[in-house]
Amino acid sequence: MIELRSASKTYRPLFGRPVTAVVDFSLQIAEGEVLGIAGPNGAGKSTLLSLLLGYLRPTSGTVLIRGMEPRSFVEKNGIGYLSELMTINPNWKAEDALKRFATLASVPPGEIQTRVNAVIEELGIGEHRDKKIKALSKGNLQRLGIAQALLRDEQVMILDEPTHGLDPVWTQRFRGIVEGLRRPGRTIIIASHNLDELQRLADRVAIIDRGRLQRLVQTGYHQATDTGGTYRFSVAAGAHRVKELFPAAVDTGEGEFELAFGSIVELNSALSKLIAAGVLLAGVMPARSVLEQQFREAVGEKG
């Protein structure tokens, strides 16, 4: 289990005012859980991850990974980590970089080449293995970063903006990779600006802003049935009837309307009325996900 107890981190520059990046942060992350971290730019996500990796120490409070200080845990076990900043020496070749990381990750010497080949295959970077890091595109570099995090069967994985720079195909594949990584005893933390991705991958999402934990959102579609929300209708015929039946409906143009419901029962009742009135519906979907709604409420419009 990972535990943050009232953890705060204040940067004290030599010149200028101190900046508090994480404030009184308390959270427990269970083994086997996938936790998402979302927040606007400058919310304190990177500082929080640095605290978890032991690259920074909290100014006050405690951070523990399986009862150990983060640095002690990392030095003993390692963490599967993908940094948002792909800071790998640009003069290293892609395959050599993976061999280096595999060596440091304590992959037995006889298995290094096999493991490196496996992650190269899994991330589809075979044709780039002899290229220097500086010659890789953003997407390929990101895939290399993910590959090095997968070199060993780690108990804790921290992925910072994992799909940044990936094309839609690899974004989709990455989701499959994370699903494959789920197992009892492994904790996965994913920090991302992509709320849709967190909604799909995480069990819970911590929304942080101004260094504080603003909300902890349970993801999963059952939430939508309980809380209702705003839905978008695409209407193929009979659009004029929508406003007659539901004056509160917002016409967003091109036969699309948005309407808020208190519950999923209310939504179904409205759909029945529309169909009975001769409205031909082409599609119904949530206007925004539960997570997006919670995010907007937690951080306001700046997010």
Q: Is 98 in the site for other proteins (CB under 8 A)?
A: no
Nearer to other proteins, 94 or 158 (CB): 158
Nearest to 30 by CA among 63, 3, 64: 3
Q: How far is the CB of 148 from other proteins (least distance, A)?
A: 7
Nearest to 171 by CA among 194, 151, 152: 194
Nearer to other proteins, 57 or 243 (CB): 57
Q: Is 134 in the site for other proteins (CB under 8 A)?
A: no
Tell me the three state secondary structure of residue 131. Answer: coil
The alpha-carbon radius of gyration of the chain (Å, integer) is: 23
Q: How far is the CB of 57 from other proteins (least distance, A)?
A: 5
Q: Which of 63, 88, 136, 188 binds other proteins (CB under 8 A)?
A: 88
Nearer to other proteins, 53 or 195 (CB): 53
Q: Is 44 in the site for other proteins (CB under 8 A)?
A: no
Q: Is 211 in the site for other proteins (CB under 8 A)?
A: no
> E strands of the chain, at which residues?
2-11, 19-29, 34-38, 60-65, 80-82, 156-160, 187-191, 204-209, 212-218, 229-237, 250-253, 256-261, 280-286
Q: How far is the CB of 111 from other proteins (least distance, A)?
A: 13
Structure tokens at 132: 């220097």
Q: Is 55 in the site for other proteins (CB under 8 A)?
A: yes
Query: Alpha-carbon distance 15 to 258, whole Å?
Result: 51
Nearer to other proteins, 132 or 241 (CB): 132
Whether the CB-CB separation of 104 and 115 falls below 8 Å is answered with no
Site string for other proteins, 142-181 (x = CB under 8 A): ---x--x---------x-----------------------
Q: How far is the CB of 10 from other proteins (least distance, A)?
A: 13
Whether the CB-CB separation of 41 and 116 falls below 8 Å is answered with no
Q: Is 25 in the site for other proteins (CB under 8 A)?
A: no
Q: Which of 12, 28, 60, 76 binds other proteins (CB under 8 A)?
A: 76
